[in-house]
Amino acid sequence: MITASPTSRLSSPVRDWRELWREAITDAGELLRTVGLGQHAERLPPGDAGFALRVPRGFAARMRHGDPRDPLLLQVLPQLAELDEAPGYATDAVGDLAAREARGVLHKYRGRALLIASGSCAVNCRYCFRRHFPYGAEIAAAGQWRQALDHVRRDATISELILSGGDPLSLATAKLEELARGLADIPHVTRLRIHTRLPVVLPERIDDAFAAWLAALPQQKVVVLHANHANEFDAAVDAACARLREAGATVLNQSVLLRGINDDADTLAALSERLFAAGVLPYYLHQLDRVQGAAHFEVDDDAALALMGALRERLPGYLVPKLVREVAGDAAKRPL
Ligand code: SF4
């Protein structure tokens, strides 16, 4: 289906995001052929190393053709290294399960509760800290969000609700409208924060209906994107970011420091500059969560701190993200 352009910033017709979702690449061999690297298929791990591949075609189109070190490709392509068992790496890297308080509700930090709104993502990132999360039983959106909202209603200390997942924008807008109706009688929730990678990997998701939903929310709204490299941005992503801001959201970005992808000062500085050009402020740069299958992405702390020093020397302070690590059981993210 083709719909009208959602804003004047997008002059060409925009395809329905659900169709684009369904057309995503789910086969690693096809992904390699799409980017001109079909000859690398014999290096793929069996069974996608136990974590399904999923890449929207628009995101694959931003990869450099014929480059096996492309920083977007390396975020999504299954690797044999994922099969290595690394000491200190766990299936529940950040203590999610211990923080569970109700169906799909994690409560780690004072004043904030996190809803596992959905178990689906438009893209599956190989370093994902929830790649082993048992989503089946823990979806807050199930049953009209009832259990999750009952929990939030009972706890008046919760002023900020974080929609996470999976990707909360994988839900139909009608499902998000259900949530907004449920929040109407919970006045202590004054802020809604949405953690999403969809505006970056499938920017068509920020369509008219979603923008209208976001704009109509009475709560303050914060959208935290997830981009790791400047090459993830193009005109459609810029337009999606603009729509989020026009709907009244503060738009931030969190990145993960990833070996071979963004672990040099030039790349991180370019990312911060590109984010700001799109109207987005860098928020966090996460040290890798030590989840099984992702050890080959880790950058050691000394190297990470040296990178931060280099960034501080070349960028204004508002473009330098905070380098943090999440430690299970801590009352806040731990600054490095
Ligand atoms: S978008 Fe986020 S939750 Fe989804 S796979 Fe990537 S890192 Fe994990």
With a CB cutoff of 8 Å and minimum separation 6, the contacts of 225 are 196, 197, 199, 200, 241, 251, 252, 253, 254, 280
> pLDDT tens-digit profile of 55-104?
999 999 999 999 999 999 999 999 999 999 999 999 998 898 889 999 99
From 59, 115, 123, give the residue whose CB has the most ligand 1 atoms within 8 Å, as the site to mutate.
Answer: 123
From 115, 132, 167, give the residue whose CB has the most ligand 1 atoms within 8 Å, as the site to mutate.
Answer: 167
Rounded to the nearest angstrom, the distance between the alpha carbon of 164 and the centre of ligand 1 is 9
Interatomic CA distance for residues 116 and 105, integer angstroms: 6
Instruction: Please check whether residue 163 is in contact with residue 154, taking contact to mean a CB–CB distance below 8 angstroms.
Output: no
Give nearest CA residue, ligand 1 atom 6: 125
- Range 100-103, long-range pairs (CB < 8 A, 24+ positions): 100/138, 101/151, 102/147, 102/148, 102/150, 102/151, 103/137, 103/138, 103/139, 103/140, 103/142, 103/143, 103/147, 103/148
> Is pLDDT at 9 greater than 90 in this prediction?
no
> pLDDT tens-digit profile of 155-192?
999 999 999 989 999 999 999 999 999 999 999 999 99
pLDDT reported for residue 137: 79
pLDDT reported for residue 14: 80
Atom of ligand 1 at shortest range from CA of 201: 1
Percent of the chain clearing pLDDT 70 (strictly above): 96
Domain boundaries, the chain: 14-83, 97-335
Percent of the chain clearing pLDDT 90 (strictly above): 89
Rounded to the nearest angstrom, the distance between the alpha carbon of 167 and the centre of ligand 1 is 7
Interatomic CA distance for residues 188 and 48, integer angstroms: 44
Instruction: Please check whether residue 119 is in contact with residue 166, taking contact to mean a CB–CB distance below 8 angstroms.
Output: yes
CATH topology of domain 97-335: TIM Barrel (3.20.20)
> pLDDT tens-digit profile of 278-308?
999 999 999 999 999 999 999 999 999 999 9
- Range 173-181, long-range pairs (CB < 8 A, 24+ positions): 173/207, 173/209, 173/210, 173/213, 175/141, 176/210, 176/213, 177/213, 178/141, 178/144, 178/145, 179/117, 179/141, 179/145, 179/149, 180/213, 180/216, 180/217
From 133, 164, 196, 197, give the residue whose CB has the most ligand 1 atoms within 8 Å, as the site to mutate.
Answer: 197
Least confident range from 4-8, 119-123, 126-130, 251-255: namely: 4-8
Does the Cβ of 195 fall within 6 Å of ligand 1? no
From 55, 82, 128, give the residue whose CB has the most ligand 1 atoms within 8 Å, as the site to mutate.
Answer: 128
Give nearest CA residue, ligand 1 atom 8: 128
Does the Cβ of 168 fall within 6 Å of ligand 1? no
Does the Cβ of 166 fall within 6 Å of ligand 1? yes
| DSSP helix/strand/coil, 324 | strand
Would the pTM of this model clear 0.75, i.e. be above it? yes
Spatial CA neighbour of 261 closest among 18, 66, 75, 1: 75
Tokens representing 130 are: 């929830």
Does the Cβ of 56 fall within 6 Å of ligand 1? no
Rounded to the nearest angstrom, the distance between the alpha carbon of 165 and the centre of ligand 1 is 8
Rounded to the nearest angstrom, the distance between the alpha carbon of 308 and the centre of ligand 1 is 24
pLDDT reported for residue 5: 44
Instruction: Please check whether residue 291 is in contact with residue 127, taking contact to mean a CB–CB distance below 8 angstroms.
Output: yes
pLDDT-derived band at 8, boundaries 50, 70, 90: very low
The one-character DSSP state at 169 is G
